[in-house]
Amino acid sequence: MKRFLFSGLVAILLLLTGYGVADRLERKSLWQDDRLIAHQTSGKELRFGPDVSPRRKSRIVFDDVAAAFGVNFTYYDGAAGYFYIVETTGGGMGVLDYDHDGNPDVYLVNGSRLPVDPTDRTQRSRLFRNRGELGFEDVTEPAGVDLVSYGQGATVGDYDNDGFEDLFVTGFGRTVLYHNNGDGTFTELTLVAGLATQFWSTSAAFADVDQDGALDLYVCTYGEVSLQNPLFCERGGQRVHCLPRRYPAQPDLLFHNQGDGTFAERSAQAGVVDENGRGLGVVIADFTSDDRPDIFVANDTSENFLFVGQGGLRFEDRALSLGVALTGEGSTMSGMGVACGDYDRNGFLDLFVTNFYGLGWGTVFIDADLDGFPDLFVANGHVSDLRHERIPYKMRQQFYRNAGNGKFEDVSESAGPYFRQLQLGRGVAWADINNDGLPDLVVSHIVDPVTLLLNQTREHGHWIGLRLVGTRSNRNGLNAKVLITVEGAVRSYELVAGGGYLSSSDLRLLVGLGQVDHLDQVVVRWPSGQEDNLYSLAVDRYHVLREAR
C-alpha cells in the first residue's frame, strides 16, 4: 500500500488489489494517529482526528435480496468466439430517484451481440423502480429507456437543473443521454445535446468542473477495436483475449455544459487531452484542497491521470509529480475501478484503485456499520478462463472492515453467503435501498445475475443522511463539502462525483456517526462559495438541505 501527500493537504492511496490481498491490506497499511490542523478558506482552525467516542465492533452482514425484491437481470456480454476485449469489461449501473418518491431506483446497463442488431430486443438495459416495501418493478418500456446497445456504464446527474435526475449511458460504439421529463418518462436527447460519440466509452461522471452552476460531463474512452478484423492472440495454444496495449488508446472527452441544454466538447481547451489513456474509472473531487474540482482517471496499462483544476475550464495533469501516475516501482498499472473517501478520517480524501493483479474491478467505500470509518467493497473476476493453468476464473467478492486504526480486516467470510460464492464481478454501486440509513450494494457480474445486497448489520452506529439541493450551485450539490461538528471535533466530507467502475451511486451523502446521537453543527460549503450553517439536525434520518440564495 502506498500513501502520497499532495502539498501536505491530501493523501492518495493506490493499492494493487484483487482476490486474496487481505494480508497486504493488513500488513502494509499506514496511519498516523496524530491530529491535523487544516486551514480552510474561512480562516478558522478545524480539528480533524480519530473517533471521539468509544466504538463497538459489530458483525457486518449482507443478504442477496435481488430475486425476492424483483430485480431479475443478467448482463449479456455477447461472447461468440471472437474474443473481443470489450466482452471482458462487463457492465455497470446508475442509481437515481427518477420519480422523486424518495426511493432510489436502479438502471442496469446491458450488453448485446456484436455487431449490435437494433431490432433484437432480447437484450436491453433495464430500469427498476423502487416501490419501497413492495420491492422493485421493471418500468423500462413505459419510462422510455429500453436501450439496445453494447452498453458499458451509466452516470446520473441533473444536467439542466430542472430538479429531475438525468441518465447518461456509455458503451461500445454509442453513447446515450436520457433526459428526465419529470413525469416518469425519459426522452433521448443525445444528438440534440451534442453528446454522441462512436468511441468505446466506459466510465463517465457528471460534475460542474468550471463551477458555473451547470453539470459538465467527463467520459472515459478505451481503445480502437475492429469487429471486422479482430485481433488473434494465443496462450499455450489456446485462444485468449489480447492484451490492452494491442489496442490503440483513444482520448477521453470533456463536454462543457453550455447552459441551454447542449454540450460542447472542450477537452483540448481544458487541457485534458492525452492520447495514451484507456480509461476505465473516473472520480471528480477536490484532492488539492483549493475548492476546485480535480479529475482522477484510472487507466489500463497506461499512466493514470490527475487533472488538477486551475480555475474555470483549465486543468493541468499533475499525476506524475503528485505520485499517482505509476506504481511505487515506477511502472504502469492496469487501473480498473476507483473508490474515493477519507478512510483514515484525517480530513483529506484518499483513493483506492483496483488493478489487474488478482483481479479487481468495481470498488466503493461505504460505512457499513455506521461507526464513522468507511469500509471497502471490491468486486473480483478474471477476464480469461485459464483454470487449466490453475489461475482462478470466477472469484470471491471481498468486503474489508475499517478497523479505525488505518488498517482493514477482510470480513468477507462472515459477511453473508454471497461472499462465499464465485462470481465474475464487475460494476458496483451503493444505495440505501430501504432508507434505513444502512448502505446497501448493487453488484453486476458477467454470466450470473445482478446482486442486490441488503445491509442487515444489526449492531450499528447512528447516522445522518443529506440530500443536497443546489440553487446557485448545480442542483445535485456535487462536490459540495459538508463539515460536521461532533463533540468539538470536525469531520469533513465531500459529495464526490463519479467513482466505482462503470457505475453511479446514490447521490445522497450518508454519514456514520458511531455512538454520537447529537450534532453540534453542520456546515455546507457549496461550489458557488455559499456557506450554510445548520444547528440541531436530528440524527438517524434523512434531511433535504437547500442552498440559501
**Tens-digit pLDDT profile for residues 198-252:** 999 999 999 999 999 999 999 999 999 999 988 999 888 889 989 898 999 999 9
Can you give the pLDDT at residue 56? Answer: 54
Residue 519 confidence (pLDDT) above 60? yes
Q: What distances in angstroms separate CA 538 from CA 133, 150, 521, 541, 543, one per listed residue? A: 24, 45, 11, 7, 9
pLDDT range class, residue 357, cuts 50, 70, 90: low
Span 15-19, mean pLDDT? 38
pLDDT per residue over 35-70, tens digit each? 222 222 222 333 333 443 445 567 999 999 999 999
Q: Please, which pLDDT band fits residue 403 given cuts at 50, 70 and 90?
A: very high
β-sheet with 216-221: strand ranges across: 201-207, 216-221, 253-257, 263-265
CA trace torsion 294, 298, 299, 304 (10° rounding): 50
**pLDDT interval class at 288 (50, 70, 90):** very high
DSSP H or E run through 520: none
Backbone φ and ψ of 86, nearest 5°? -65, -20
Residue 246: which residues within 8 A CB-CB, separation 6 or more?
Answer: 231, 233
User: What per-residue confidence (pLDDT) applies to 329?
Assistant: 78
Between these two residues, 30 and 256, which has the higher pLDDT value?
Answer: 256
Residue 11 has pLDDT above 60, yes or no: no
- Residue 393's Cβ-count burial label (10 Å; 0-12, 13-18, 19+) is middle
* All domains of the chain in start order, with CATH: 62-455 (2.130.10.10)
pLDDT digits (tens, 9 = 90+) for 185-194: 999 999 999 9
Confidence (pTM):
0.90
